[in-house]
Amino acid sequence: MRTCSASVVTLYVNGRQVGQATGATVTPANLGATTQNWLGRSQFITDPNLNGNMQDVAFYTKSLTSSQIRTHYQTVRPPPTVNTSGDLYQHRDQTTDHRDEGLYNASYGLHVDAQSTNSGVKSIEIQVDGVRKDYAEQLCPLGGCAMARDWTLSSDDYSDGGHTITVNVTDQGGWVTTTGFPVTVGRRGDIYHAAEYDGDPNAGGSTMDEEWAQCRGVRREPSRALEQLGLEPNASERSAAS
């Protein structure tokens, strides 16, 4: 896309400025009525025609700002989409159903699927707490390329507590889609979490009460931790009840 404002001509590629010239003395309005108005063909018969395709051609009656050009590009060329899966994503921190959250095993895998129906996906980057941990890129000369990436988090490489996983997907035009999720590592001491709901949390049930317990040293079964929290009867209580 090219804009011409006053004596400044600016060239944009994929919504980004790549060149600019000043001192232009001729504007489209100076040309008056024209008859040889072609796309992909020169005014001179000896020049070769465009060997390619055009898509999303648009004309405006005024010079656009850089933000307007970016909006135009992203409207006709949406940014890449990204989907995350795998047991690392499954055990992420959640706001309602906490049954699967927490990283207690030695490692967890993350799978990333990225799509870009326009220029194609260029790269996938995975970060932990803002630090790059994995990166891969590809060429996509014909556009529309998808990309997938697998990565494994080693829990013992991180301190117990909260961490943030971030995935950045960049298309060939330079536009980035970012997604992420929080996780909680609990390897130095087993962390047990028990919650009581007034209904199915997946159906909108609210939390009535919740407790956390950390057991250092020997790993214990969750049922024993629940007993100590007072949320499950102990062995003697179960025997008396029977």
Bigger pLDDT: 214 vs 41: 41
User: Is the pLDDT assigned to residue 199 strictly greater than 80?
Assistant: yes
Domain ranges of the chain: 2-76, 81-185, 189-241
What the block records as the tokens of 83 is 């989907």
Identify the pLDDT of residue 220. Answer: 42
**Type of residue at 178:** T
User: Is the pLDDT assigned to residue 155 strictly greater than 90?
Assistant: yes
With bands split at pLDDT 50, 70 and 90, how would you rate the model's confidence at 78?
A: confident
**Type of residue at 217:** G
Which of these, 13, 118, 1, 6, lies nearest to 60 by C-alpha position? 1
With bands split at pLDDT 50, 70 and 90, how would you rate the model's confidence at 228?
A: low
Mean pLDDT rounded to a whole number for the chain: 82
With bands split at pLDDT 50, 70 and 90, how would you rate the model's confidence at 70?
A: confident
Bigger pLDDT: 144 vs 54: 144
Bigger pLDDT: 85 vs 187: 85
With bands split at pLDDT 50, 70 and 90, how would you rate the model's confidence at 230?
A: low
| Nearest 10 degrees: Cα torsion 217, 154, 186, 111 | -150
Identify the pLDDT of residue 192. Answer: 64
Query: Tokens 């001509």 identify what position?
Result: 9
| pLDDT (mean) for 27-32 | 76
| pLDDT (mean) for 157-172 | 95
What the block records as the tokens of 40 is 């992909």
Identify the pLDDT of residue 7. Answer: 76
Query: Tokens 């090219």 identify what position?
Result: 2
Identify the pLDDT of residue 200. Answer: 82
| Nearest 10 degrees: Cα torsion 19, 20, 26, 27 | 80
In the chain, pLDDT over 70 holds for what percent of residues?
Answer: 82
d(C-alpha 4, C-alpha 27), whole Å: 7
Distance of CA 221 to the CA centre of its chain: 36
CB–CB of 189/216 below 8 Å? yes
Query: In the sheet that 81-85 helps form, which strands lie side by side, from edge to edge?
Result: 81-85, 107-115, 147-154
Q: What is the pLDDT of residues 202-219, one digit of tens each?
A: 888 888 777 766 654 444
Q: What is the pLDDT of residues 172-186, one digit of tens each?
A: 888 899 999 999 998
Identify the pLDDT of residue 242. Answer: 47
| Domain 81-185, second-level architecture | Sandwich (2.60)
Rounded to two decimals, what is the model's pTM? 0.60
Q: What is the pLDDT of residues 104-138, one digit of tens each?
A: 999 999 999 999 987 899 999 999 999 999 999 99
d(C-alpha 110, C-alpha 85), whole Å: 6
Identify the pLDDT of residue 210. Answer: 75
What the block records as the tokens of 97 is 């159903």
